[in-house]
Structure 1
Amino acid sequence: MPSSRTISANGIELFLCEQGQGPLVLLCHGWPELSYSWRHQIPALADAGFHVVAPDMRGFGRSSAPADVDAYSIFDTVGDMVALVAALGEKQAVIVGHDWGAPVAWHAAMFRPDIFTGVAGLSVPPPFRGRVRPLDALRESGITNFYWQYFQTPGVAEAEFERDVTATMRMVLGRGISDPSAMFIDQGKGFLGHLRADQPLPKWLSEADIAHFAEAYQESGFRGGLNWYRNIDRNWELTAPWHGAQIHQPSLFIAGSKDSVITGLIGAKRVNEMERVLPNLKQKLIIEGGGHWIQQERADEVNAALIAFLK
Structure 2
Amino acid sequence: MNAPNQRIIECNGIHINIAEQGEGPLVLLVHGFPESWFSWRHQIDALAAAGFRVVAPDLRGYGKSDAPQAIDQYTILHLVGDMVGILDALGAPAAVIVGHDWGASIAWQAALMRPDRFRAVAALSVPFRPRGKAPPTSLMPRTENAQFYQLYFQEPGPAEAELGRDPRATIRNMLFGASGDGVAAARAAVAAGG
Same fold (TM over 0.5): yes
Q: In the TM superposition, what is the alpha-carbon distance from 1:172 to its structure 2 partner?
A: 1.6
What secondary structure does 1:96 align onto? Answer: strand
Q: In the TM superposition, what is the alpha-carbon distance from 1:143 to its structure 2 partner?
A: 4.9
2:13 is aligned with 1:24: no
- Given candidates 124, 134, 137, the residue that maps to 2:136 is 134
Pairs within 5 Å for 1:47-196: 47-138=49-140, 143=143, 145-176=147-178
Q: What are the Cα deviations for residues 106-129 of structure 1, in whole angstroms up to 9, with x where unaligned?
A: 111111111111110011111232
CA distance in 1, matches of 2:139, 2:127: 18
**Cα 1:48–1:162 shift into 2, 3 Å:** same
* Corresponding residue of 1:253: none
In the superposition, the TM-score normalised over structure 2's length comes to 0.84
Deviates more, 1:168-177 or 1:109-118: 168-177
What secondary structure does 2:96 align onto? Answer: strand
Q: In the TM superposition, what is the alpha-carbon distance from 1:11 to its structure 2 partner?
A: 1.6
What secondary structure does 2:174 align onto? Answer: helix
Match for 1:65: what amino acid? A
Q: In the TM superposition, what is the alpha-carbon distance from 1:21 to its structure 2 partner?
A: 0.7
* Corresponding residue of 1:11: 13
**Cα 1:83–1:142 shift into 2, 3 Å:** closer
CA distance in 2, matches of 1:50, 1:41: 11
Percent identity over the alignment? Answer: 54
What secondary structure does 1:36 align onto? Answer: helix
CA distance in 1, matches of 2:136, 2:111: 22
What secondary structure does 1:110 align onto? Answer: helix
CA distance in 2, matches of 1:86, 1:129: 27
What secondary structure does 1:61 align onto? Answer: coil
CA distance in 2, matches of 1:148, 1:172: 14
**Cα RMSD for the two superposed structures:** 2.4
CA distance in 1, matches of 2:103, 2:161: 24
Q: How many equivalent residue pairs? A: 181
Q: What are the Cα deviations for residues 187-214 of structure 1, in whole angstroms up to 9, with x where unaligned?
A: xxxxxxxx89xx59xxxxxxxxxxxxxx
Q: Which one has more relative contact order, counting CA pairs under 8 Å at least 6 apart?
A: 1
CA distance in 2, matches of 1:125, 1:110: 14
CA distance in 2, matches of 1:142, 1:115: 38
CA distance in 2, matches of 1:166, 1:67: 21
CA distance in 1, matches of 2:20, 2:78: 22
Q: What are the Cα deviations for residues 158-189 of structure 1, in whole angstroms up to 9, with x where unaligned?
A: 222233333322322222399xxxxxxxxxxx
CA distance in 1, matches of 2:64, 2:166: 20
Match for 1:117: what amino acid? R
Pairs within 5 Å for 1:191-206: 199=185
In the superposition, the TM-score normalised over structure 1's length comes to 0.54
CA distance in 2, matches of 1:142, 1:170: 26
What secondary structure does 1:40 align onto? Answer: helix
Match for 1:47: what amino acid? A
Q: What are the Cα deviations for residues 205-250 of structure 1, in whole angstroms up to 9, with x where unaligned?
A: xxxxxxxxxxxxxxxxxxxxxxxxxxxxxxxxxxxxxxxxxxxxxx
